[in-house]
Amino acid sequence: MIEIYQILLNHFGKQKWWPCRTGDRFEIIVGAILTQNTNWKNVDKALDNLIKNKMLSKNKIKKIPISRLSALIKPAGYYNQKAKKLKAFVKYNGKITRASLLSIWGIGYETADSIMLYAYNKPYFVVDAYTKRIFSRLGLIKTQDYEYVRNYFESKLPKSISVYKEFHALIVELAKRHCKKEPLCRECPLAGRCRHAKRL
């Protein structure tokens, strides 16, 4: 696994994720919720709306009418649902742990791990649809079960927050450029290792 990480790092270079303008933990958390079922370009527009309207704080989101919040985050899609999810998050006042995040309505495994890794610098590997697609094609995972895949990565990698962050970002870059739903295998840096590429 670390060899694949090095190949991608050498090919694409450092990605320096999470994309965050303010450097604020709360922005990362909001972004992690907004990015559910959409791409980052749309999330960026929603975050811009919140920043321009001075609404990117826990207290402001707690007080803003949900209809107004929905309108501000509309570019991120599923805006009514996501507004409810943001409201559910800001309502929570306890200690933030992976377990506590998973107890909040609207936060699943991927969102919880994104928050833990990028906002709180805790070593949880983030598994997304790209991860499952790429590593299934490589023949390294044979299940889509989130916890199995996360534990698999964490068992194969050094317990390094920086490696977890960088590898996740590199996987996203690989999926965007090469390992799409209809893959572009010819120039993929992992083509020589990929059983899917060999069949094409």
Answer whether residue 92 shows pLDDT above 90: yes
The structure tokens 């999810």 sit at 85
- If you average pLDDT over residues 109-128, what whole number do you get? 97
Answer whether residue 116 shows pLDDT above 80: yes
- What CATH number is given for 2-16+123-199 in this structure? 1.10.1670.10
Q: For the chain, give the percent of residues with pLDDT over 70.
A: 98
Answer whether residue 118 shows pLDDT above 90: yes
Q: pLDDT for 17-47, tens place per residue?
A: 887 777 789 999 999 999 999 989 999 999 9
pLDDT, averaged across the chain: 95
Q: pLDDT for 183-196, tens place per residue?
A: 999 899 999 998 87
- If you average pLDDT over residues 55-74, what whole number do you get? 97
Joined together, the tokens standing for residue 49 give 């709306």
Answer whether residue 121 shows pLDDT above 90: yes
The structure tokens 């996360």 sit at 150
Buried b / exposed e along 35-57 (16+ C-beta atoms within 10 A): bbeeebebbbebbebbeeeebbe
In the CATH hierarchy, which top-level class contains the domain 25-107? Answer: mainly alpha
**Domains 2-16+123-199 and 25-107 agree in fold:** no
Nearest-angstrom CA–CA distance, 47 and 157: 32
List the chain domain ranges. Answer: 2-16+123-199, 25-107
Quick one: pLDDT at residue 64? 97
